[in-house]
Structure 1
Amino acid sequence: MERKLVLASHGKLASGINSSLELICGNQLAIEALDCYLTESFDLEKEVKELMKRYREYELVVVTDIFGGSVNNEFLAHIDRSNFYLVAGMNLPFLVELSMQLQQAESLPKLIEMSLETSKQSIQFCNPLISGELEEEEF
């Protein structure tokens, strides 16, 4: 079964992070961005239904920007669909991990869990790390 990764966000975060992802990992045809609410006439429910229909024969991973936000909530309505995986909290380290192994991983749920764990470690408050290193160097 083919796999597809969809990035969905309020505003242009999805296409912006996809642009960064392409710079790091190369252009990947299995990734699509859905930028929401860019026009007054944007219909989130319609867009999500069309997307879910278009990829009904795929293993589909959707990554949204904010858990509990309208974009995430609209996809939550489809959570019972088989071969559909929804992740909230879009960030570049997670997407690099996920996209690099998307097509070859045996289990998408395991890949998602592993990518989440790895990406959590990349979120760091740098000031204390660096000042701690500097203090250690002074001794």
Structure 2
Amino acid sequence: MNQIILASHGELAKGMKNTLDMIVGDLKTVQAFSSYRDEEKNIKELIEKEIKDNYEKNDIYVLTDILGGSVNNEVMSLLKDYPKIHIIAGMNLPLVISIAISESISDGLLKQLIKESQQSITDCNQLISKSLNRKEENL
């Protein structure tokens, strides 16, 4: 089973979890943590507890909002104690859904899921423009 930890600045991770729940149902294997400037508990401590509780039971995927951001850096520091976790920066909803609904994820499949999620980022104006240009060419 895959344990997914969503971690972000502000409410992004919680919003991602809420949207995931709406699309695929409430998954108990997905947790969301948000970082604030005035938080009582450090996000790293909260995530580390979740990792400790699941480290031997599940494959753990930690998705952070931005590579090199403070949240990503905090999570990256956990790799020395938990080398089996998978940390992915730049989360988006297609990637979260793909990991959440996949039973077993090989390194090759993870690479493919990341590539597919990157391809879901599209300039819709250009897409429409290309489509309209093709229609005009066919006339």
TM-score by length of 2: 0.86
Q: Which residue of 2 aligns with 1:79?
A: 79
TM-score by length of 1: 0.86
Identity of aligned residues (%): 34
Describe the shift of the 1:53–1:136 C-alpha distance in structure 2 as closer, same or farther (beyond 3 A): same
> What are the ranges of 5 or more consecutive residues in structure 2 without an aligned counterpart?
none
Q: Give the 5 Å matches for 1:44-63.
A: 44-57=43-56, 58-63=58-63
For the Cα contact (< 8 Å) 1:76–1:86, is it kept in 2?
A: yes
The one-character-per-residue Cα deviations of 1:75-95 (angstroms, maximum 9, x if unpaired) are: 111224232100000100111
> What are the ranges of 5 or more consecutive residues in structure 1 without an aligned counterpart?
none
Residue among 92, 107, 110 paired with 2:108: 110
Q: Which residue of 1 aligns with 2:18?
A: 19
Q: Which residue of 2 aligns with 1:100?
A: 101
The reply on whether 1:3 has 2:10 as its aligned counterpart is no
In 2, Cα distance between equivalents of 1:18 and 1:106: 20
Deviation of 1:136 (Å): 1.9
Q: Give the secondary-structure state (helix, strand or coil) at the position aligned to 1:79.
A: helix
Describe the shift of the 1:134–1:74 C-alpha distance in structure 2 as closer, same or farther (beyond 3 A): same
Higher helix share: 2
- Following superposition, which runs of at least 4 residues in structure 1 exceed 6 angstroms of deviation? none
Report how many aligned residue pairs link the two structures.
Answer: 135
